[in-house]
Amino acid sequence: MTVFFKTIGFSIGLALVFTLVTQLLPQVEGEAPVETKVDLASLTMDDFVAMGEDLFMNKGTCTLCHKPPPIGRAPDIQSMDMVSTSSERLADERYQGESKDAADYILESMIDPSKFVVAGWGKKGSNDTVSPMPAVDKAPIQLSAMEMDAIIAYLQAKDGNEVTISLPSPEAAAEVVAAAPAAGGVAPAPAATAEEALGKYACSACHAMDSEDPLVGPGLATVGARLSETEIRQSIVDPAAVITEGFPPAMPADFAEKMTVRELEMLVQHLAEKK
Residue with Cβ nearer ligand HEC (7 or 87) = 87
Residue 158 as a binder of ligand HEC (CB under 6 A): the answer is no
* Contact code string over 217-236 relative to ligand HEC, x by CB under 6 A: xx----x--xx----x--xx
Closest C-alpha to 188, from 255, 266, 258: 258
> What whole-number distance in Å separates Cα of residue 123 and Cα of residue 235?
23
Alpha helical stretches, state H, 25-44: none
* Cβ proximity to ligand HEC, 11 vs 164, nearer residue: 164
Residue selected from 156, 207, 266, 272 as contacting ligand HEC according to rule CB under 6 A: 207
- Residue 78 contacts ligand HEC per CB under 6 A: no
State the Cα torsion 130-131-132-138 to the nearest 10°: -110
| Amino acid making up residue 137 | D
3-state SS, residue 106: helix
Residue type at 237 in one-letter notation:
V
Length reported for the chain? 275
- Is residue 150 near ligand HEC by the rule CB under 6 A? no
Binding residues among 52-71 for ligand HEC as defined by CB under 6 A = 56, 60-62, 64-66
* Of 213, 232, 243, the residue nearest 273 (C-alpha): 232
Q: Which residues bind ligand HEC (CB under 6 A)?
A: 56, 60-62, 64-66, 73-75, 77, 82, 85, 89, 106, 109-110, 113, 116-118, 121, 131-134, 136, 151, 201-203, 205-207, 216-218, 223, 226-227, 232, 235-236, 239, 243-244, 247-252, 255, 267, 271
